[in-house]
Structure 1
Amino acid sequence: SKEEKHRILHTFNDTKTNYPKDKPLHELFEEQAVKTPDQTALVFGAQRMTYRELNEKANQTARLLREKGIGRGSIVAIIADRSFEMIIGIIGILKAGGAYLPIDPETPRDRIDYMLENSGAALLVTTDSLLQPFDIKTVDLRSDELHLLSGENLPRVNRSSDTAYIVYTSGSTGTPKGVVIPHYSAARVVQNTNYIDI
């Protein structure tokens, strides 16, 4: 019918939405931490972490990364099992001003070496159980050094057009290639999941 045709062609395809394209991801996270500091942000097994706790731990990580020279435009690889530390590390990298390069711990060593070199990663963050010798500076996400740093938010250095993360293609048809994702693109993807009223 005419009504069905209109619904299929126009109503279902009306996917335009406002999203926070002028803010980097970690700024959006900080805003949420201010709105709901005591709400659960992460659940892992029986453990829970609030937005306040996650924000403070990510800030501590970001401070350590800045001390190690990470800033706007830096690429930081992260190799971590699913854990609180993995999420803390990702947000910490963004807060420091860097872009993260996620690498699965099960990835073959030669591929890891290729991604680290090809991406120009300045640093690798990982957990102590996954530490192994790499030809790159490494930070342990479970280091006691992190607890000594301030949990306050850092001055922002990123724009929404800066790179948030880089993912590598499978390489099944040749050499893997890095795909660069800016903050505003990632914010658009999570718009309907996390941000209702922008």
Structure 2
Amino acid sequence: DGNAPAERQAFMVGDSGAALLLTHSDQPEVAGPRRVELDRLDLSTYTAAPLGLAVDAGSAAYIMYTSGSTGTPKGVQVPHRAIVRLVINNGFADFNHQDRVAFASNPAFDASTLEVWAPLLNGGAVVVIDQDQVLSRQGLREVLLD
């Protein structure tokens, strides 16, 4: 979360043992792992070949940090199976190839898991909505109609 205080960002990077930090060039430096600035990334140097990583349903898909409202934030590993359970044959929502889901939450918030993976794992599409549009009634209306 680029809007989080620098101390919180540094804590999460250090606590997680991250080896790589995906960020943007306008974000402040965080000591520790190698930094990859996504807005300056040259994808032409990469191949489409599989990475050959051993991943199964119990492998961590990502780490989500708690708010820390009762003390120190805690990292929670979210396994791939938890994402699949949330968005495929879940018994509460039918996601399919016709869906267009607005990605409007902060990626550091757990609601973003549903907004991203529900459409992608069911053949639909994610529509990224800029924060300025989300906060503007007219802007949000226009992007939703579009």
Check if 1:112 corresponds to 2:9: yes
Shift of 1:156: 4.3
Q: Which amino acid aligns with 2:10?
A: D
5+ unaligned residues in a row in structure 2: which ranges? 90-94, 96-117, 123-146
Could you report, residue by residue, the CA deviation over 1:15-62 in whole angstroms, capped at 9, with x for unpaired residues? xxxxxxxxxxxxxxxxxxxxxxxxxxxxxxxxxxxxxxxxxxxxxxxx
Distance 1:115 1:160 in 2: 24
Using CA pairs below 8 Å that are at least 6 residues apart, which structure has the higher relative contact order? 1
Distance 1:113 1:145 in 2: 26
Task: After the TM superposition, list the runs of 4 or more consecutive aligned residues in structure 1 that deviate by more than 6 angstroms.
Answer: none
Check if 1:135 corresponds to 2:31: yes
> Which residue of the partner structure matches residue 173 of structure 1?
70
Distance 2:16 2:53 in 1: 23
Distance 1:144 1:181 in 2: 27
Choose between structure 1 and 2: higher helix proportion.
1
Distance 2:53 2:6 in 1: 34
Q: Across the two proteins, how many residue pairs are aligned to each other? A: 92
Matches within 5 A, 1:10-89: none
Preserved contact between residue 9 and residue 30 of structure 2 (Cα < 8 Å): no
Amino-acid identity (%):
38
Change (3 A) 1:164 1:144: closer
> Which residue of the partner structure matches residue 161 of structure 1?
58
Change (3 A) 1:125 1:180: same
Check if 1:121 corresponds to 2:18: yes
Q: Which amino acid aligns with 1:105?
A: G
Change (3 A) 1:144 1:113: closer
- Structure 2-normalised TM-score? 0.55
Larger Rg, first or second structure (1 or 2): 1
Q: CA RMSD in A?
A: 2.0
Preserved contact between residue 62 and residue 79 of structure 2 (Cα < 8 Å): yes
Q: Which amino acid aligns with 1:171?
A: G
Shift of 1:145: 3.0
- Structure 1-normalised TM-score? 0.42
